[in-house]
Structure 1
Amino acid sequence: MGNNRQTLLLSDSGYDCENKTGEQMLEEAKKNLQSMAFFGLTEYQNYTQKLFLKIFSKNFKLAEEFAQSNRTFAETFINKQNDTVQIPYLEEIKRLNKLDIELYSFAKELFFKRLKDFRIV
């Protein structure tokens, strides 16, 4: 249940995914993501903040500009690993999380479309 977790959680399946294919869950997750008023991407924190403010700014004020972090916890773990060890694991992770990778690609395209629609980029 840990593989393709985002696809599972954003689909209409919840934890009852036995009667659906991965592709069905992926399509549901894409549809649900598209219907959300707002979502952001961790690696684009400044753009996420700007989009949030454009969508919800009528009654929402931030005390200060958000500080973008260019490092993640996972990145520090991977960088400590030996390249010969991490490559086989990375390929296996990609294989096991194919749906999440596709969902992320869709989310990134949708995110940048919204940035463009709100004239942020």
Structure 2
Amino acid sequence: MNWQTVLTELAQNVDDVNDEALLGLVNQSERIFLAGAGRSGLALKSFAMRLTQLGKQAFVVGETTTPAITASDLLVIASSSGETTQLVQFAATASDVGATIWLWSTGTDSTIARQS
């Protein structure tokens, strides 16, 4: 794989993101919870920090100071497959309490995609 391939794939993924829909959810949610594994998790930690700097209440799922999610909250998950066991569990918990779930994934027919 070369750099041009990587850049092309990144550009395609960015084009597929519905920024307006996510922005609307972020603006209307009392609190935003973020979860991801590996590199996706690291990226979401940066996003959580940026959201906090913008005045939103943002929490990384699994940290010791993260409160329980409620129906008025938003859970943002990043999972390439949409099948990461721990993230599927987080989505199930959020779904059970009626929270909104936003998924960034290439797995459009995954377990988490069906929950979001």
Q: Which of the five TM-score ranges fits, normalised by the shorter chain?
A: under 0.3
Kindly indicate whether structure 1 or structure 2 has the higher relative contact order, using CA contacts under 8 Å at least 6 residues apart.
Answer: 1
Q: Highest Rg: 1 or 2?
A: 1
Higher helix share: 1
Relative to the length of structure 1, the TM-score reads: 0.21
Give the structure with the larger strand fraction: 2
